[in-house]
Amino acid sequence: RTLESIVEVFDSPGKGRGLRATKEVWAGDVLFADPCFAAVVFDSLVAHVCHSCFRRQAKLQRCGQCRFAQYCDRTCQRAGWVEHKQECAAIKSYGKAPNENIRLAARIMWRLNKEGGVVSDMQLTTLDDLEDHLSDMPEMDLKELKVDVHNFLDFWPRTGKQHTVESISHIFGVINCNGFMVSDQKGLQAVGVGLFPNLCLVNHDCWPNCTVILNNGNHSTINTMYHTQKRIELRALGKISAGEELTVSYVDYLNLSEDRKQMLKQQYFFDCTCEHCTKKTKDDLKMAGAVVDGVPEEKVKEVTEYSVEMLKKMENARLEANYNEVVKICRECVEKQENVLADTHIYQLKMWSTLGEVLSYLQFFEEAATYARKMVDGYVKLYHPNNAQLGMTMMRAGVTHWQAGHIEVGHGMICKAYAVLMVTHGSTHPITKDLEAMRNQTEMELRMFKQNEYVYHSMREAALKNQPMKMMAEPVEEGVKGLFRKK
């Protein structure tokens, strides 16, 4: 199916250009796959992530010329050379690598010079036609942008095609409001930023009918010819009728409608008029008190304010990787929240989320499982049933229960997560594949457990003794929740 046959560009009332479906689609259908126009690794991760396939690796090989770019191996280096060739020479003559914004703008400019504004039959818009919102930018941001433009001109090779300040400013403006988060191979952490032209046409709705995922493609083959490209996929979350506008959410729905509106205005320069913002849908649940007789409103307000303070403290301890302190702060706060805040209160959910993740990392699986379970119960009441964030939370909860030895609950959650991720990520995504392997594993264990509980537990004990559970990856900042990069 070609792109034209499923989606088309149209003028969306009050929103400018948008995309709509030209035929009926169902949950999990891919409306388009958009290859990356250009992408770079974040400044903070240049030494930990392959500059070609965006995998996180412990050992990377540096480019011998510029000593800046890093790759998994020769295969990735060869695959990345097309994009890196001119960058490599520019870094050498400039003496250092500039920041991620300048690196991305330069990669975009080199590609424009070489291939023009449209690089595939599937591309629905040129970069010239994308909004840069320079006229809406606050003074501070404009200052930063001017510095970037100035440094870009210093970095750009004298021998290359020269560009006007206007055209470069336009590209920086486009990156600023359309730069998309590129995640690592597992899709669990944002590691870079890229530009995907078609995605820029999809308008926002807080309760969208589509979701976007990054599929890093296949880089395990030795031959670069068989590598599949990094691409984003726009997938339907449910039935969409012909003629209906396609929307994605630029911000996490777990925020209150006022906060979402503020974020959208600040970052993307528009006022959200979606139904969920207008009606403040579920805001009451997100700030609700516990359904216990006699919790006065004052008490709910007091504990809510206390939670905001504790969340700040917790974030600081987390940034310093002081996990015992994180647990202490969360436990104190959770104790105060209990029986005062509802299980859908977003500050309580945030505490449970961090506590569950850190306890799991410290290998207190039993306690971690309790919070993981509570989180899923709260999320189910707030999120769309096919929300990727909900699916990932169910997956984490399933694994935590399995680690705690609760095989029945663990298997049930893993199955539920699998159903959601089949829609949001599709069957070929690395996360879905991992989840499928886990589902088979827990299914086998569950059968064994039902046949003979005693034998199952003794086998499990032996297995855990001989092969100590690998430490979970360190709890990183919240995963890829917002689609686009926030400054």
Would you state the pLDDT for residue 98?
98
272 near 260, Cβ under 8 Å? yes
Residue 3 has pLDDT above 60, yes or no: no
Mean pLDDT of 332-338: 97
Stretch (H or E) spanning 336: helix 323-337
Q: Which residues contact 404 (CB under 8 A, 6 or more apart)?
A: 365, 366, 368, 369, 410
CA angle 483, 436, 434 (to 5 degrees): 55
Residue 206 has pLDDT above 90, yes or no: yes
Would you state the pLDDT for residue 260?
97
Give the model's confidence band at 293: pLDDT under 50 very low, under 70 low, under 90 confident, else very high: confident
Give the CA radius of gyration of the chain: 24
The 3-state DSSP class for residue 198 equals: helix
Would you state the pLDDT for residue 118?
87
CATH superfamily for domain 275-466: Tetratricopeptide repeat domain (1.25.40.10)
Mean pLDDT of 56-80: 94
Residue 469 has pLDDT above 50, yes or no: no
- Tens digit of pLDDT for each residue in 216-259? 766 555 555 555 677 899 999 999 999 999 999 999 999 999 99
Mean pLDDT of 247-272: 95
331 near 355, Cβ under 8 Å? yes
- Tens digit of pLDDT for each residue in 350-388? 999 999 999 999 999 999 999 999 999 999 999 999 999
Mean pLDDT of 15-44: 95
Please give the share of the chain, as a percent, with pLDDT higher than 70: 92
Give the model's confidence band at 411: pLDDT under 50 very low, under 70 low, under 90 confident, else very high: very high
Could you give the CA distance from residue 43 to residue 99 in angstroms, rounded to a whole number? Answer: 6
Would you state the pLDDT for residue 2?
47
Among candidate residues 318, 319, 336, the one with its CA nearest the CA of residue 327: 318
Give the model's confidence band at 453: pLDDT under 50 very low, under 70 low, under 90 confident, else very high: confident
Mean pLDDT of 294-298: 88
121 near 188, Cβ under 8 Å? no
Mean pLDDT of 42-70: 95
Higher pLDDT among residues 390 and 230, named by residue: 390
- Spell out the alpha helix ranges (H) of 7-134: 74-94, 100-115
Tokens 């505490």 found at: 351
Q: What are phi and psi of 267, to 5 degrees?
A: -90, -35
Residue 316 has pLDDT above 80, yes or no: yes
Could you give the CA distance from residue 105 to residue 148 in angstroms, rounded to a whole number? Answer: 10
Encoded tokens for 204: 């926002």
Q: What are phi and psi of 26, to 5 degrees?
A: -125, 170
Would you state the pLDDT for residue 483?
66
- Tens digit of pLDDT for each residue in 166-197? 999 999 999 999 999 998 877 778 899 999 99
What is the DSSP secondary-structure string of 276-330? Answer: HHHTTTTHHHHTPBPSSTT--HHHHHHHHHHHHHHHHHHHHHHHTT-HHHHHHHH
Please give the share of the chain, as a percent, with pLDDT higher than 90: 78
Task: Give the bridge partners for 12, in sequence order.
Answer: 16
Residue 81 has pLDDT above 50, yes or no: yes
Is the fold of 3-249 the same as that of 275-466? no
Mean pLDDT of 22-47: 95
CATH architecture of 3-249: Beta Complex (2.170)
Q: What is the mean pLDDT of the chain?
A: 91
Give the model's confidence band at 485: pLDDT under 50 very low, under 70 low, under 90 confident, else very high: low
Would you state the pLDDT for residue 486?
56
Tokens 């690089």 found at: 119
Burial-class residue 320 by CB neighbours within 10 Å (0-12, 13-18, 19+): exposed
Domain coordinates of the chain in residue numbers? 3-249, 275-466
Burial-class residue 444 by CB neighbours within 10 Å (0-12, 13-18, 19+): exposed
Buried b / exposed e along 156-176 (16+ C-beta atoms within 10 A):
beeeeeebeeeebbbbbbbbb
Would you state the pLDDT for residue 471?
46
Give the model's confidence band at 302: pLDDT under 50 very low, under 70 low, under 90 confident, else very high: very high
Least confident of 131-145, 295-309, 407-421, 446-460: 446-460
